[in-house]
Amino acid sequence: MIDFHTHLDLYPDPHGVAKACSERGLYVLSVTTTPSAWAGTSALAQGAPRIRTALGLHPQLAHERKSELTLFERLVTETRYVGEIGLDGAPDFKQRWDDQILVLTRILDICRAAGGRIMSIHSRRAASAVLDELEKRPSAGVPILHWFSGSNRDLDRAIGMGCWFSVGPGMLQGEKGRLLASRMPMDRLLPESDGPFAQVDGRAAWPWEASSVLPVLADIWRQNGSDVEQQLFGNLARLGRGVVETMPVRP
């Protein structure tokens, strides 16, 4: 199975969780929240060819870690994947909005200069603003909106821009999340856990619990579980082969 957005380094026993992912044959995108976490987090993938590490600078930490943008630029050549990046419009973080915009726009410019990256993007209460910045930089890479919670209008816009989406058990527990997922293109969707932040039965979700989205998607798409799994693996394969084009340039 696949977990396209998890924070391996933030589990109490990250090496144990990484080992368990490998033993299960799980394909994992291990995201980071700061460039300084890159070295330690990428070390978790040693000897685990199905684990990929993404270079990130989380919007909730933008005001504290914007000085690490220089390090981000130096490290971006070491990976095809960038994340977690984005914007967060929740009240606790909106007061740091200028720093968030500075960090996101700089990262998108770095990705563009590097030839484009596959990007796992946070957009809580900020979907429209995130899309604005992506639309200005279509060659920054392939945007994958993680745990998307924007409006239907935002979703339609994101689809039209060529965005992908990753959905997890946390998102699909609610009616709004399921409705949004039902409108996302089947061929641009991947599963995620968002562990250890996302909760399953009142505890942190494990990466392998991203598979719990299968029966929900089967119901939404009116397919059997094996067909859903085949679709998701096909999506991952297209992404991995580099056959997915960057966002279309707008006239």
pLDDT in tens, 207-247: 999 999 999 999 999 999 999 999 999 999 999 886 444 44
Nearest to 120 by CA among 181, 197, 53: 53
Contact assessment for residue 20 and residue 208, using Cβ atoms and an 8 Å cutoff: yes
Query: Residue 81 maps to which CATH number?
Result: 3.20.20.140
Q: Is the pLDDT reported for residue 10 higher than 90?
A: yes
204, part of any domain: yes
52, part of any domain: yes
pLDDT in tens, 144-174: 999 999 999 999 999 999 999 999 999 999 9
Give the pLDDT band (50/70/90) at residue 248. Answer: very low
198, part of any domain: yes
The region that residue 13 occupies, defined by phi over 0 for left and psi between -120 and 50 for alpha, beta otherwise, is beta
111, part of any domain: yes
> What's the pTM?
0.95
247, part of any domain: no
Q: Is the pLDDT reported for residue 7 higher than 70?
A: yes
12, part of any domain: yes
54, part of any domain: yes
Residues 6+ apart with CB under 8 A from 157: 128, 131
pLDDT in tens, 119-153: 999 999 999 999 999 999 999 999 999 999 999 99
Beta-ladder partners of 81: 118
Give the structural domain span for 15: 2-240
250, part of any domain: no
Q: Into how many domains does the chain fold? A: 1
Q: How far apart are CA 78 and CA 92, in angstroms?
A: 33
Beta-ladder partners of 118: 81, 142
